Amino acid sequence: MRLVNNLRLALLFIFVLSFAACKNQHSVSVIDENFEGNGDNLERVTQEMVAPPFLPKFDQVAVGSPKVVQVTFEVSEKKIEIAHGDSIWAFTFNGTVPGPMIVVHQNDFVELTLKNPATNTQMHNIDFHAATGAMGGGDITLVNPGQQVKFRFRCTRPGVFVYHCAPGGTMVPIHVTAGMNGAIMVLPREGLKDENEKLVKFDRAYYIAEQDYYLPKDKNGKIKNFKTPQEAIQETGESIKALIPTNIVFNGSEGALLGKNALTANVGEKVLFITSQANRDTRIHLIGGHADLYWPGGKFNNKPYTDFETWPVPAGSAAAVIYKFRQPGTYVLLNHNLIEAFYLGALAQIKVKGAWDSTLMKQIEKPMPIK
């Protein structure tokens, strides 16, 4: 009897302890969170950047304790063709529009080395929406051509967040609309949770950024071609003021995610789509599919919404969506302002392989003369 009582007592003790631990985990509001240490003594890892729409190697559920994740961005000012014969002096992180996606876990630190090679003409920096502190790091990362800088910030909040260049004044919109933006994904350490708070793992992930461009035109309405970034900047300062984009594209240029560049997936796979817009509101739609799980603003501490047909992405943010492809075919993902999609370029394709499921859709009669 005593043994049974002791056992009961022990069980009660364990229950109280685990309840207290559980309560402790959830009882601190994000508004009252405190942190210790500046990352000096943490394990360091290097993350190799890859060009979007792909993501670097990462674990969906964090392994071990928080780390310092070392990342290097090199700024490249380069002329890129964004639509049949029309080009822009793009300002880029690592040579791509958008810049590469960084992936870490909550409470990791990002330690970024930002290099601005002497071959560039402009001063650049970086403002991380995921960072906490003045200008998102913009003040302490300004580098002239020929300089580099290193800074570190703690990723306190899970979610997907935009980063962009913000060198000051009207240079901010000029650099951002010249392509100098990207996103970081801060995963919860325990991974993503579905609407029932169960771990949800995805089979692949893609990063799609919409980019609005404002190419200056000559008096005949023809897009101008500039010899130097300085020349382009002067006239772009005028052309952006009307707020009328000449091009709205995904991943830097028209067709960047179409045809042979289309994204791929297989029926049955859960695909994480991260969609960002650094300067302008948009609304993303996957024709013939849905957002099974949609985190507004891409913030993973909130329970995901389900079943969305179109998901908004306000300027200066990213959204995260998981969709399980149930049917094969070539899907189109677009900005559902259809004029912006079909006239200005905001279109992407996902080629999905697998077997057709007639429990979901079936043609009953082929087209025929009206009876």
**Residue 175 in contact with Cu ion, rule: CB under 5 A:** yes
Cβ neighbours, 10 Å, residue 133? 13
Q: Which two tokens stand for residue 117?
A: 């090679």
Q: Which of 124, 280, 283, 290 binds Cu ion (CB under 5 A)?
A: 124
Specify the stretch interacting with Cu ion by CB under 5 A; choose among 99-107, 121-129, 242-250, 279-287.
121-129
The tokens of 316 are what? 């200066």
- Measured from the CB of residue 229, what is the shortest distance to Cu ion in angstroms? 10
Exposed / middle / buried, residue 176 (Cβ in 10 Å: 0-12, 13-18, 19+) = buried
* Closer by beta carbon to Cu ion, 172 or else 287: 172
- Encoded one letter per residue, x for contact with Cu ion by CB under 5 A and - for no contact, window 221-250 reads ------------------------------
- Residue 127 annotated to the active site: yes
State in angstroms the smallest separation of the CB of 172 from Cu ion. Answer: 9
Tell me which stretch binds Cu ion (CB under 5 A): 47-55, 85-93, 267-275, 303-311. 85-93
Size of the site for Cu ion (CB under 5 A): 5
Quick one: residue 64, left, alpha or beta (phi over 0 = left, psi -120 to 50 = alpha)? left
Please report whether residue 344 would count as binding Cu ion according to CB under 5 A.
no
Residue 97 found at the interface with Cu ion (CB under 5 A): no
Q: Of 6 and 170, which has the nearer Cβ to Cu ion?
A: 170
142 counts as binding Cu ion under rule CB under 5 A? no
Residues 6+ apart with CB under 8 A from 171: 122, 123, 233
Catalytic site residue 285? yes
165 assigned to active site: yes
Active-site residue (options: 105, 129, 210, 254): 129
Residue nearest to Cu ion (CB): 165
List, as one string, the DSSP characters of 99-148: PPPEEEETT-EEEEEEEE-TT--S-B--EETT--SGGGGTTT--B-TTEE
Q: Which of 5, 24, 129, 124 is nearest to 75 (CA)?
A: 124
Cβ proximity to Cu ion, 165 vs 257, nearer residue: 165
Binding range to Cu ion, per CB under 5 A, among 28-36, 174-182, 296-304, 354-362: 174-182
Catalytic-labelled residue, pool 92, 124, 155, 246: 124
Please give the Cα distance from 269 to 307 (Å, whole number): 17
Query: Would you count residue 115 as binding Cu ion (CB under 5 A)?
Result: no
- Please tell me whether residue 176 binds Cu ion under the rule CB under 5 A: no
Closest among 176, 198, 359, 353 to 279, alpha carbons compared: 176
**The pair of three-digit structure tokens given for residue 189, joined into one six-digit string:** 């350490």
Which residue carries 């700024």 as its tokens?
75
At 357 the three-state DSSP class reads: coil
- Check binding of 271 to Cu ion (CB under 5 A): no
Catalytic residue ranges? 124, 127, 129, 164-165, 175, 180, 285, 309-310, 336
Give the interface with Cu ion as residue ranges (CB under 5 A). Answer: 91, 124, 165, 175, 180
